[in-house]
Amino acid sequence: MATETPPPATPGAPLPTTEEFAEVQQSAEFGELRRAHRSFAFPLAVAFTAWYLLYVLLSNYAGGFMGTKVAGNVNVALVLGLAQFLTTFLIAWWYARHAAAKLDPKAEAIKSRMEGGA
Amino acid sequence: MSPAITLAAGEASDHRTLITTLFAVFVAATLVITVRAGRQTKNAADFYAGGRQFTGFQNGLAVSGDYMSAASFLGIAGAIALFGYDGFLYSIGFLVAWLVALLLVAEPLRNSGRYTMGDVLAYRMRQRPVRTAAGTSTIVVSIFYLLAQMAGAGVLVSLLLGITSDGGKIGIVALVGILMIVYVTIGGMKGTTWVQMVKAVLLIAGALLLTFLVLLKFHFNISDLLGRAADNSGKGSAFLEPGLKYGATGTTKLDFISLGIALVLGTAGLPHILIRFYTVPSAKAARKSVIWAIGLIGAFYLMTLALGFGAAALIKPDEIIASNKAGNTAAPLLALHLGGVHSDWGAILLATISAVAFATILAVVAGLTLASSSSFAHDIYANVIKRGQATEKQEVGAARWASVGIGAVSIVLGALARDLNVAGLVALAFAVAASANLPTILYSLFWKRFTTSGALWSIYGGLVTAVGLVLFSPVVSGSPASMFPDVDFHWFPLENPGIISIPVGFLLGVVGTLLSKEVPDAGKYAELEVRSLTGTGAH
């Protein structure tokens, strides 16, 4: 099928065979890694997209509400816009923490075993 | 009244000398960097991926430098200065979008690809057709983006330097084009990365300085700043609420939804952004780059808020519009006013901010040229034309020639388009990236059943739908703000095609897959899935 075979990565470490990849893919350990990534990333991706769309829809169709003054000249629209910044920063931080704790150790264990010429 | 006189308020020639000097200093500095980077560029991984030795922080800076275009700096500050809240609303999609890259794209891409977006799209597919499709969409997205930047550069620099003649404008476009060819052919990814890092530092420092000066003027009282902006705009409290730009009619509201979706989903499909993740040694470093980029880009957009409202508060709207209808010179004007219109300090600030804007454009066009020429050389020349048999030397040679070709095409198109309103092309680039690239990236990585024909349907379907709808939209014809205002063949009411073309792109990926009798290559998917999540065998 493929006309290009991926060349070896780090010098001296040959790429594992297709059979080895298939075996790892079926393993419980990799299944856990996949689940740890997907169960975190997918719902969160849906959530922040929905939250952004909600904000756009409010800006479009709820002008009165958005114009409500909160403090001085600061209104709901500005607060919600700044909240988008805040949630973006928080999600980025949260994902970094999740990845370091739940993804990296699993990924590194599998990688070093596969590249160790198992 | 000529724009230069409006902008320079009587001391035009002083400003011009200073601006030109600062431009020249920046250009000279970047050329030195480029030549040094060129000496260290020995193989394909150096040329395409900067040797993969940049740190997460360095790449985060470079990603920000690659992403924050003149459209961000000048366009958003200008939009806020003229339309208040709606300019801010516009900026938010550009930031939120980074979460798609962070959660779903950056790390798997870094783990499984080598040099281009096509590496990942074609990983488990038939190479030649999918690489052709990926190369096509990479080049289309990059050229649209490039054209908008080049034309913008022409307008901006002409305005700042008071060049109004046709020859002068064409000269500026040619100069930008030649510089980007030099950066890319000589410096490759290393040179481009350093130029983008320097630009990011300059841009953030410039924005910080202006933000500080604006806030100082209002004794750090944000409510006062907003109040003065609202009063001075002549629009009152409506200036601080959504609606002045996107809320005019039901159509403009729908148009903004369409734009917002394209911004959020397009960023993670922009080839010039994606190839930046290959410049770091690991997926972890790629993640760190995105985190830094989110911090830097977020901080920058927060500062544009101060710049935009500051300009609205301190400068009469007529003066901003007289200088540039779209408000693109609001930030440089703000610098002039903060320093004092008839003082040396004002002239110095104006020149500094103008030079920063120029640096911004150069760094972005270099990134775009590199992305499109890499894709031409690696996807189309090496893997389609030479069927994977090209040597590294031939491939890098092809990439260098491709950047000369793409640069030349952009110069010609940019010169032809110098008086056309091409601002809409940036939005189109995001829409194509979201409709043609993102679906295939996501399906390739996460959907086992996905096939070659699904990829082709999605890429070409998304591409044709997005470009086709814009061709028949008010962006191209039928309105005074169109590219061709004197003709009218539009029937699609929106300026942004995303709301239709993105679902079409995603849907066609499924339809193409389900309709084909092709059996997906399970072995290759196992390889891609394991590699993308663990980094096994990553380059």
What tokens appear for B10 in the block?
């009587």
Q: Number of helices and strands (H, E) in chain A? A: 5, 2
Which has more pLDDT, B396 or B17?
B396
The pLDDT value recorded for residue A117 is 58
CB within 8 Å: A89 and B294: yes
The pLDDT value recorded for residue B418 is 78
Tell me the per-residue pLDDT of B195-210, one tens digit each, with 9 for 90 and over.
999 999 999 999 999 9
As a whole number, mean pLDDT of residues B362-388 equals 94
Tell whether the model's pLDDT for residue B242 goes beyond 80.
yes
Tell me the per-residue pLDDT of B429-441, one tens digit each, with 9 for 90 and over.
999 999 999 999 9
Alpha-carbon distance values, B396 to B5, B18, B39, B345, B374 (Å): 47, 39, 15, 47, 8
Distance of CA A45 to the CA centre of its chain: 7
Task: Give the whole-angstrom CA distance, residue A90 versus residue A19.
Answer: 40
Task: Give the whole-angstrom CA distance, residue A80 versus residue A96.
Answer: 24
**Which residues are CB-neighbours of B384 under 8 A, at least 6 positions away?**
B127, B128, B131, B132, B135
The pLDDT value recorded for residue B509 is 97
| Mean of the per-residue pLDDT values of chain B | 92
Alpha-carbon distance values, B438 to B161, B304, B425 (Å): 40, 28, 18
As a whole number, mean pLDDT of residues B175-189 equals 94
ipTM of predicted assembly, 2 dp: 0.93
* B3-534, CATH topology level: Sodium/glucose cotransporter (1.20.1730)
Tell me the per-residue pLDDT of B8-33, one tens digit each, with 9 for 90 and over.
444 556 678 888 898 899 999 999 99
Tell me the per-residue pLDDT of A21-49, one tens digit each, with 9 for 90 and over.
999 999 999 999 999 999 999 999 999 99
Q: Kind and range of the H or E element at B50?
A: none
Nearest to B127 among A4, A63, A88 (CB): A4
The pLDDT value recorded for residue A7 is 46
The pLDDT value recorded for residue B13 is 65
In sequence order, the β-bridge partners of residue A69 are A75
Task: Give the whole-angstrom CA distance, residue B535 versus residue B539.
Answer: 9
Alpha-carbon distance values, B360 to B1, B192, B481 (Å): 28, 12, 25
pLDDT band at B70 (very low <50, low <70, confident <90, very high): confident
Q: What is the percentage of chain B residues whose pLDDT exceeds 70?
A: 97
Domain coordinates of chain B in residue numbers?
A: 3-534
Asked whether B210 and B307 are in contact (CB, 8 A), the reply is yes
How many other CB atoms sit within 10 Å of the CB of residue B36?
A: 15
The pLDDT value recorded for residue B398 is 95
The pLDDT value recorded for residue B153 is 80
CB within 8 Å: B533 and A45: no
Task: Give the whole-angstrom CA distance, residue A115 versus residue A111.
Answer: 6
Tell me the per-residue pLDDT of B102-135, one tens digit each, with 9 for 90 and over.
999 999 999 999 999 999 999 999 999 999 999 9
What tokens appear for A70 in the block?
């909160």
Task: Give the whole-angstrom CA distance, residue B474 versus residue B478.
Answer: 6
Residue in B52, B90, B536, B539 to test binding to A, most A beta-carbons within 10 Å: B536
Considering only CA atoms, which of B268, B274, B285 is closest in space to residue B439? B268
What tokens appear for B331 in the block?
């930030």
The pLDDT value recorded for residue B12 is 58
The pLDDT value recorded for residue B5 is 37
CB within 8 Å: A22 and B93: no
The pLDDT value recorded for residue B45 is 94
Residues from chain B contacting residue A19 (CB–CB below 8 Å): 523
As a whole number, mean pLDDT of residues B276-297 equals 97
What tokens appear for B452 in the block?
């070659």
**C-alpha distance from B401 to closest chain A C-alpha (Å):** 23
What tokens appear for B24 in the block?
């020249």
The pLDDT value recorded for residue B11 is 52
Structure-token match 């260098």, residue found: B400
The pLDDT value recorded for residue B1 is 33
Nearest to B527 among A18, A38, A91 (CB): A18
What tokens appear for A92 in the block?
């980025």
At A70, give phi and psi (nearest 5°). -105, -50
Least confident of A63-67, B250-254, B287-291, B341-345: B341-345
pTM: 0.93
Tell me the per-residue pLDDT of B337-363, one tens digit each, with 9 for 90 and over.
999 888 888 888 988 888 888 889 999
The pLDDT value recorded for residue B278 is 97
What tokens appear for B229 in the block?
């902006």
Structure-token match 């490759």, residue found: B188
Asked whether B328 and B75 are in contact (CB, 8 A), the reply is yes
CB within 8 Å: A85 and B92: yes
CB within 8 Å: A25 and B98: no
